[in-house]
Chain A
Amino acid sequence: MGVTEPTIKPTPVAESDERVNDFSIVVATANGTGSQTANLTLLRAFFKMGIPVNGKNIFPSNIQGLPTWYHIRVSRDGYVARRETSEVLVAFNEVTVHQDLQELPSGSICLYNDDWRNIPEREDVVMYGVPVNQFLREVGARGKFRDRFTNMIYVGALSWLLEVELDAIEEALSYHFGGRQKLVDSNMEVIRLAYDWAAENLEKRDPFRVEPMNATEGKFLITGNEAAALGAIFGGFNVAAWYPITPSTSMIDALTAHAQELRVDEDGKPSYAIIQAEDELAAIGMVLGAGWAGARALTATSGPGVSLMAEFAGMAYFAEIPSVIWDIQRVGPSTGLPTRTGQGDVTFAYNLGHGDTKNVVLFPADPKECFEFGTTSLDLAEQLQTLVLVLSDLDLGMNNWMTNSFDYPEEPLQRGKVLSAEDVEEKGFSRYKDIDGDGVTYRTLPGNEHPMAAYFTRGTGHNEHAVYSERADDWTQNMERLMRKFETARTLVPRPVTDEVEGAEIGIIAYGTTRAAIEEARDRLAAQGIKTSFMRLRALPIVDEVQEFVERHERVYVVELNRDGQMYDILRLEMPEMALKMTSLAHLDGMPLTAAWVVENLLEKEQSV
C-alpha cells in the first residue's frame, strides 16, 4: 500500500530549507560485503553525536550476494519507527540502483559509485558520484578488502555531506572492533581519504545535515536479543536449549557470550548449561526436562520452531512444567519471509498445544522490556508452573535500539511452590491438589529424599495425586483447576502501559514494537487536533483494565503487524460485549510499522464513523 510521508515537501533542491537531524538514510549494498560494519558505524556515530537514531537492517535470507538495505533514521524528536521513505540514498549496489533511485521522494540526495557504466539520473534528486576504484587503488585494497573499504568510502563521503563528526566515526569504529587499533586505523584511513576527497570535489547542494545534540545521554544502543539474553542471565536462567533459527539465534549467541563472563564462579564453574539441540522438538524437551527437575530453563526460536514445539507446549500446560520460549517472530505461514518482521504468532502462542491449552504470553516493546521480561518470564513460569512465551520480533530482536539503563531486578527470584523434604514431612504432598485455592499446586523436585516426595509426571489424565486416571470427574476437576490457575495468571502478568488523554474519543490498543510507530502517529494526529489514548498490552491473558479502557472510549483501534488482527480476535473473544467498539488495524508486509500507515488507516476508518 503506497503511503506518502506528510513531512516531505517536494520543493526545488536549491531553495529547500535545511533539514537538520530529521531525515532517513537508506544504504543499498549487497549481502555479505561487510556493509554491516559501515552501517553500524554511521548509526553509532549519530548516537555519539547525541542525536536520537534507529537502524533497521532489511536483509535477505542469504549469505552472500543478494541485495540488502540498511535504514537509518535520525530524529531530533526522538522518533524511532521506520519511515516509508528515505531522503538520503547510498546507492552502492549496481543491481538495485535504478529501483532505489525511483523510490526517493523529490528533493532527496543520492551518493553513488561513479565507476558504474550506466548511472541513472533523476533531475529532482541531487546526485553525488564517488570514484570508488580510484580510492581502492590509492589504499592498495585487494581481495576481500576491496568490498570492506568500498563500504568505508561511503562512510567517509557521507560524513562530509551530512557533517558527521569524524571523531564520532572513529569512536564508533573503535567500539565495533573492540578497540583493535590497527583495524580502526586502516578503516579510518579510507574514511578520511573519502572525506577529504568529498570536501575538495563535491559541491553541497542539498539541505540534509546533522549537528550535535544531547538527546542520547544516559542511553545506549543494544539489540532486543542481546537485552533479552542479559535479562535471562540476571533472571537466573540456568538451562537453555536451542536450535539455530533466524532471527532468534543472536539471542543465544549473546547468552553464551555474556554467561561466560557473568555466570561462572571464581573457580570457573558455570551456573548454567547451554545445549544446542538437534531440533526444536528436542530443544523444548530439554527445557521441560530441566524445568521439571528444578532449573530455570528457556529456549529461543521463531515461528517454524514454535510449530515444532507445539506438542511439548501442550504437555507443559497440562503436566504443569515451568518453561519459557522466546519467540522472535518472523513472517509466516511456513518458511514465509524468514528475515522480515511481524506479529503473526499471537493466537498460535496463546493456545499453543492441542486440546484446551492456554499459555501466558508476554510482549516486550523495547530492549528494556526484553531485559525485564528475562526475569519476569522465568518467574512466572515457576510461580505458575506452566509455559510462558515471550513474543519479541525480528525488528526488536536483531536491530539496534536506543535504550535507557536497565534497572537491576528489585525482587528476589520467584521460585514458586516447591516443597522440600521437611515440607513434605510436615504438610504431606499431593502433586495436583489445589490447597491454596489459586489453582497453583505444590511440586517436589527429583532428588527430594522424602519417601513420599516422588510423583509420576505424565501427559495422560491424572488425579490430584498424579495417578493415572481416565475418570470423567478427575479430568474435569483438573481442567477446571487449570482454568483457575489461568485466572491467577491474570493477577501476576505485567499490566498494560496506558497513556490516557482527557477527552479522547479514540483509544488505540497495541503491543510490542508497533509502539514506536503508534507514538509517532499519535503526535501527528494530535497535531491535526485528534486526541487519542493508548493502551499498550504487555501480556496475555488480559486484565480487567483492558475492558475498562475500551469502555471509556468511543472507538478503539487494535493495531498490529499481522493480516488477520490476531489480538483483535482475542480481545473480542475475551470481552464480547466490547466487540462492536473495537476495530482492527492490522497490516503485514514484512516491514516494521510506520506512523504514516497508522495515521492514514486510522483516519480512513474514522471517516466511516
Chain B
Amino acid sequence: MSSRTRGRDRTNEIGLDYSDYKGQPTTLCQGCGHNSISNQIIQVAFELNIRPHEIIKLSGIGCSSKSPAYFLGMSHGFNALHGRMPSIATGALMANHHLKAVGVSGDGDTGSIGMGQFKHVVRRNVRMVYIVENNGVYGLTKGQFSATADEGLELKYAGVNEFRPIDVCQEAIVAGATFVARSFSGDPNQVRELLKAALSHGGTSVLDIISPCVAFNNADFSTKSYTYGKQHEEPLHNLDYIPVREEIYIDEYAPGEVKPVQLHDGSHILLRKLEAEYDPTDRIKALSRLESALEKKELVTGLIYFDDARSSLAELEGLADEDLPLAQMPEERLRPTPEQLNQVMNKFL
C-alpha cells in the first residue's frame, strides 16, 4: 500500500477523497466502540480504492445496526429487521452477486434473535463481511444482558448473568464458517487488517469485534476499584444520563501476547493475540482454542479460522461465472419464448 493512501486528507488511487467514504454524523454515544469500527470501515474502503457503488451495507436492529448510516454515504444501505440482516443480504447478493456486502450486527441481533439467520448465512457461505459489534449488552433498550454477556457478570440494572455466554466465533465455526476472526474496537490496526482480509474472502467473513458499551455495560461501581468510576460518582441512576467518555484505544501488542484492557466501567478484558505460528485452517483446533480461552476468560484475537476451499452460495447457484447480475438481465433472458410456452403446454395431457 502506497503511503499516499494513509492520510485522511488525501485522495486514493481512484480519485476519491477520504471524506467521500464518510456517512452521516454518528448519533451513537460518544466513546462508543462502534464509532471506531465505522471509522476503520471508512479507512479500509478508502485504502482499498473500493468504488462506493460496489458496496452494499446492511444491518439489523440495535445500536450496532444504526452504524451503517455513519459510513460509506455513497453506498446503498439497508437497515433491516432485528436479527434478519442475513436474509436481506442473501437475497440482495442473489440479485446482484457482484456487490460487496458489509453487514453490521450486534450481539443481541446475532446472538439472540438472529442466531438462526446468522448460522444459516454462514452455512450457505454467502460472500459478505459479517461484523458483530459485540458489547454483551442491549443498549437501545437500556441495559439488559445479551446472550454474549460473561457468566457471572453483574450489571447495575440487570443483576447477575447466570448463563453461559454464546461465543459468536465458535457458533460461526460450528455452522461451517469459512472466515472467522475476532478483534477489539480499540485496536484499529488489527480491525483494519482483518477487514481487508475479510473483504477479499470469497465467502462469509465473520468478524466478532468486542466493542465496549460506554453507557450500560457498567458493573456495580462499588465492587470495582476503578478510579474513573469514582470520579463520576453519578452511578447512572438516571438512565437518561450517559457519561461522555473517550473511546478506548490500545497500543500495539505482539502476536502471542496477552493485553489486559480496562473498559469504561473499570472491568478488564484480556485480549490474547494469536501467535504467529497459529494455524487457522484446523477447524477442531480453532474450536478448542476458543473453548479454552473462554475458560480462562480471555478473548483470542486475530484470524481464528479460515477455509478458502468451500464454494460460495452464488457459485453453487451457478451465478458466479455470469457477468450480468440477475437484477440486470434483459427481458429475453427472463421470459421464455411463445414457442417454449407451447412446448410446455403440449407436455400436459
Tell me the A residues contacting B by CB distance below 8 Å.
44, 47-48, 171-172, 175, 220-222, 230, 233-239, 241, 258, 261-263, 265, 268-273, 275, 277-279, 281-297, 311-312, 315, 405-406, 408-409, 412-413, 444-451, 453-460, 467-468
Query: Which residues on A sit within 8 Å (CB–CB) of B87?
Result: 241, 277, 281-286, 288-289
B84, A292: Cβ atoms under 8 Å? no
A312, B327: Cβ atoms under 8 Å? no
Q: A262-B344, A408-B338 are in contact. Are A454 and B73 (CB under 8 A)?
A: yes
Query: Which residues on B sit within 8 Å (CB–CB) of A460?
Result: 79
User: Which listed residue, A238, A271, A459, A468, touches B81 by the CB 8 Å rule?
Assistant: A459
Minimum-distance CB pairs A-B, first 8: A289-B91, A285-B87, A294-B327, A236-B334, A286-B91, A295-B95, A293-B95, A290-B91
A220, B76: Cβ atoms under 8 Å? no
Cα(A277)–Cα(B88), bound, Å: 12
Q: How far is the CB of B252 from chain A (nearest CB, A)?
A: 35
B349, A48: Cβ atoms under 8 Å? yes
User: Which listed residue, A285, A296, A449, touches B80 by the CB 8 Å rule?
Assistant: A285
Tell me the B residues contacting A by CB distance below 8 Å.
20, 24, 51-54, 56, 68-69, 73-81, 84, 86-96, 98-99, 116-117, 120, 124, 313, 317-319, 321-322, 325-329, 331, 333-336, 338, 340-341, 344-345, 348-349
Cα(A230)–Cα(B335), bound, Å: 10
Whose C-beta in chain A lies nearest to the C-beta of B337?
A: A408
Q: Can you report 20 A-B residue pairs in the complex whose CB atoms are below 8 A from each other? A: A222-B348, A230-B344, A236-B334, A238-B329, A263-B336, A270-B317, A270-B319, A275-B313, A277-B87, A282-B84, A282-B120, A285-B81, A288-B88, A290-B92, A290-B94, A295-B96, A446-B76, A448-B53, A456-B68, A456-B79
A456, B321: Cβ atoms under 8 Å? no
A445, B327: Cβ atoms under 8 Å? yes
Cα(A187)–Cα(B341), bound, Å: 32
Query: Which residues on A sit within 8 Å (CB–CB) of B69?
Result: 456, 468
User: Which listed residue, B74, B92, B334, touches A293 by the CB 8 Å rule?
Assistant: B92
B334, A269: Cβ atoms under 8 Å? no
User: Which listed residue, B116, B322, B348, touches A220 by the CB 8 Å rule?
Assistant: B348
Q: How far is the CB of A447 from chain B (nearest CB, A)?
A: 5
Query: Which residues on B sit within 8 Å (CB–CB) of A236?
Result: 331, 334-335
Query: Which residues on A sit within 8 Å (CB–CB) of B341?
Result: 230, 234, 406, 408
Whose C-beta in chain B lies nearest to the C-beta of A449?
A: B53
5 more contacts with CB within 8 A, not counting A265-B333, A293-B93, A454-B73, are A263-B334, A281-B84, A288-B87, A294-B327, A446-B99
Whose C-beta in chain A lies nearest to the C-beta of B66?
A: A468
A409, B76: Cβ atoms under 8 Å? no
Q: A281-B84, A405-B345, A408-B338 are in contact. Are A447 and B96 (CB under 8 A)?
A: yes
User: Which listed residue, B76, B79, B86, touches A454 by the CB 8 Å rule?
Assistant: B76
Q: How far is the CB of A39 from chain B (nearest CB, A)?
A: 14
Whose C-beta in chain A lies nearest to the C-beta of B348?
A: A220
B90, A289: Cβ atoms under 8 Å? yes
Cα(A272)–Cα(B91), bound, Å: 12
Q: A275-B90, A282-B117, A457-B78 are in contact. Are A447 and B53 (CB under 8 A)?
A: yes
B51, A446: Cβ atoms under 8 Å? no
Query: Which residues on B sit within 8 Å (CB–CB) of A446?
Result: 53, 56, 75-76, 92, 96, 99
Query: Which residues on B sit within 8 Å (CB–CB) of A445?
Result: 76, 96, 327
Query: Which residues on B sit within 8 Å (CB–CB) of A221?
Result: 348-349
Query: Which residues on A sit within 8 Å (CB–CB) of B348?
Result: 220-222
Whose C-beta in chain B lies nearest to the C-beta of A294?
A: B327
A454, B95: Cβ atoms under 8 Å? no
Query: Which residues on A sit within 8 Å (CB–CB) of B93?
Result: 289, 293
Cα(A284)–Cα(B333), bound, Å: 24
Whose C-beta in chain B lies nearest to the C-beta of A267?
A: B321
Query: Which residues on A sit within 8 Å (CB–CB) of B331?
Result: 236, 412-413
Query: Which residues on B sit within 8 Å (CB–CB) of A468?
Result: 69
Query: Which residues on B sit within 8 Å (CB–CB) of A292?
Result: 78, 88, 91-92, 95
A295, B317: Cβ atoms under 8 Å? no
Query: Which residues on B sit within 8 Å (CB–CB) of A268?
Result: 318
A258, B91: Cβ atoms under 8 Å? no
Cα(A468)–Cα(B65), bound, Å: 13
Whose C-beta in chain A lies nearest to the C-beta of B81?
A: A311
Query: Which residues on B sit within 8 Å (CB–CB) of A290?
Result: 91-92, 94-95, 326-327
Cα(A202)–Cα(B283), bound, Å: 72
B53, A271: Cβ atoms under 8 Å? no
Query: Which residues on A sit within 8 Å (CB–CB) of B344?
Result: 230, 258, 261-262
Q: How far is the CB of A314 from chain B (nearest CB, A)?
A: 9
User: Which listed residue, A230, A291, A311, A451, touches B74 by the CB 8 Å rule?
Assistant: A451
Whose C-beta in chain B lies nearest to the C-beta of A297?
A: B91
Cα(A498)–Cα(B77), bound, Å: 46
Query: Which residues on B sit within 8 Å (CB–CB) of A238?
Result: 95, 326-327, 329, 334
Q: A457-B79, A459-B79 are in contact. Are A289 and B92 (CB under 8 A)?
A: yes
Q: How far is the CB of B130 from chain A (nearest CB, A)?
A: 14
Q: How far is the CB of A385 from chain B (nearest CB, A)?
A: 14
Whose C-beta in chain B lies nearest to the C-beta of A270?
A: B318
A294, B96: Cβ atoms under 8 Å? yes
Cα(A453)–Cα(B200), bound, Å: 25
A234, B335: Cβ atoms under 8 Å? yes
User: Which listed residue, A269, A273, A455, A467, touches B94 by the CB 8 Å rule?
Assistant: A273
Cα(A511)–Cα(B329), bound, Å: 35
Whose C-beta in chain B lies nearest to the C-beta of A44?
A: B349
B116, A279: Cβ atoms under 8 Å? yes
Cα(A239)–Cα(B327), bound, Å: 9
A293, B336: Cβ atoms under 8 Å? no
B116, A278: Cβ atoms under 8 Å? yes
Q: How far is the CB of A214 from chain B (nearest CB, A)?
A: 15
Cα(A454)–Cα(B73), bound, Å: 7
B349, A275: Cβ atoms under 8 Å? no
Query: Which residues on B sit within 8 Å (CB–CB) of A459?
Result: 79-81
* Residue of A270, A285, A449 most packed against chain B (CB within 10 A): A285
Query: Which residues on B sit within 8 Å (CB–CB) of A271?
Result: 326, 329, 333-334
Query: Which residues on B sit within 8 Å (CB–CB) of A294?
Result: 95-96, 325, 327-328
Whose C-beta in chain A lies nearest to the C-beta of B73?
A: A454
A288, B91: Cβ atoms under 8 Å? yes
Query: Which residues on A sit within 8 Å (CB–CB) of B52?
Result: 451, 454
Cα(A233)–Cα(B345), bound, Å: 13
A447, B54: Cβ atoms under 8 Å? yes
B345, A220: Cβ atoms under 8 Å? yes
Cα(A290)–Cα(B116), bound, Å: 20
A275, B318: Cβ atoms under 8 Å? no
